[in-house]
Amino acid sequence: MSDDRASDDRGRGDHSDDHAHGDHHTHGDHDHHAHDVSTLGVAVVTVSTSRSLDDDPSGDAIVEAATGAGHEVATRELIDDDYDGVQQTVDALSRRGDVDVVVTTGGTGVTPDDVTVEAVTPLFGKELPGFGELFRRLSYDDIGTKVIGTRAVAGVVDGTPVFCLPGSESAARLGVEELILPEAGHLAGLATRD
């Protein structure tokens, strides 16, 4: 097989070579990122009964990372650890025209009032299991086996990627800077593509 033919085949769906060599941003003849959202409208939701917007280092970290990367904070909310409240808030935000991605912080642990995962997961039309898997892998370097109690999840709700992070500032910063911001524009574009 000639070199030209091999490169043509790669452009028609076999991306194993691209991924193996870390070159997953060039997929042959078509632009895989043509639908990417370059400036995201980010909804930031802190789930906590003990914090306020004036005392919300995790929410602050998400806002700083998003705006520092050139995105806009469409809204910032602080809500109680309440199943119905969390579910209704995330559902409503995912439907807003100015929101491309929702990031929650808090309520992903194992205490009885940690209900974010239970509230948000039923809304997912598609789950993004790789987010939680990679978040825990990266978190292991900082917190070791305590990562077992971390239930960070992500999925797509009505065409909007939703990411649920733990409530600690370091976890929020890690999740947003290392995982969400590098991929959210691409995911938001794909999730709404016709």
Grouping H, G, I as helix, E, B as strand and the rest as coil, residue 105 is: strand
Q: Which residues contact 139 (CB under 8 A, 6 or more apart)?
A: 147, 150, 171, 174
Which stretch of 3-17, 59-73, 152-166 has the lowest confidence by average pLDDT?
A: 3-17
pLDDT at 62 > cutoff 80: yes
CA-to-CA dists, residue 12 to 22, 30, 159, 186, 190, angstroms: 18, 9, 26, 20, 18
pLDDT number for residue 192: 81
Confidence band, pLDDT 50/70/90 cuts, at residue 14: very low
Predicted structure pTM score = 0.83
pLDDT number for residue 21: 38
Give residue-wise pLDDT tens across range 124-165: 999 999 999 999 999 999 999 999 999 999 999 999 999 999
Give the total residue count for the chain: 194
pLDDT number for residue 136: 97
pLDDT number for residue 55: 95
The domains of the chain, with CATH numbers, are 37-191 (3.40.980.10)
CA-to-CA dists, residue 190 to 32, 96, 130, angstroms: 9, 17, 16
The dihedral through the CA atoms of 16, 21, 25, 27 has a sign that is negative
The residue type found at 148 is I
pLDDT at 11 > cutoff 80: no
pLDDT at 189 > cutoff 50: yes
pLDDT at 37 > cutoff 50: yes
Confidence band, pLDDT 50/70/90 cuts, at residue 36: confident
Mean predicted confidence (pLDDT) in 75-97: 97
